[in-house]
């Protein structure tokens, strides 16, 4: 099974989460700007993006990338994750609904969110998400 973790991070918080997920999943790790393959080449994918602005996906790199690949998610098992500094996680709920509507199965039925810098406990949750992704 071929697995990828694709993320965008502005402060390093979502990147730390991505690294923990990729390591435990045995996945290839890509920043969104470095991902040049097709999501169709992967059996399972974790997508990471922090909450930006009014609880939205990052608009300059991640959102355009995700808009392009969203139609390719049908039948895929995916994980969603990201950090936030304000709000209540609305961006993740919306993103999860969007992925489910596109035909993807989101692991645990929800994304994993972390407020600000991931703690050791948060990184353990990321590792558990990575293991679930690899199953």
20-to-23, 70, 71, 113 alpha-carbon distances in Å: 5, 24, 27, 14
Asked whether the predicted pLDDT for residue 19 surpasses 90, the reply is yes
Instruction: Give pLDDT, residue 108.
Output: 92
58-to-44, 48, 71, 108, 123 alpha-carbon distances in Å: 22, 10, 19, 23, 22
Per-residue pLDDT tens digits for 35-90: 999 999 999 999 999 999 888 999 999 999 999 999 999 999 999 999 999 888 99
Q: Could you tell me the pTM of the whole model?
A: 0.97
Per-residue pLDDT tens digits for 101-133: 999 999 999 999 999 999 999 999 999 999 999
């Amino acid at each position: 099974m071929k697995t990828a973790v694709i993320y965008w991070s502005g402060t390093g918080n979502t990147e730390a989460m991505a690294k923990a997920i990729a390591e435990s999943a045995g996945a290839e790790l890509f920043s969104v700007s470095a991902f040049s393959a097709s999501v169709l080449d992967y059996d399972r994918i974790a997508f990471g993006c922090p909450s930006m602005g009014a609880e939205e996906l990052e608009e300059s790199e991640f959102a355009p990338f995700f808009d392009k690949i969203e139609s390719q998610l049908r039948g895929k098992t995916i994980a969603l994750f990201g950090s936030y500094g304000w709000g209540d996680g609305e961006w993740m709920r919306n993103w999860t609904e969007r992925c489910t509507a596109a035909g993807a199965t989101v692991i645990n039925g929800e994304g994993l969110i972390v407020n600000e810098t991931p703690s050791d406990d948060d990184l353990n949750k990321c590792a558990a998400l990575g293991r679930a992704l690899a199953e």
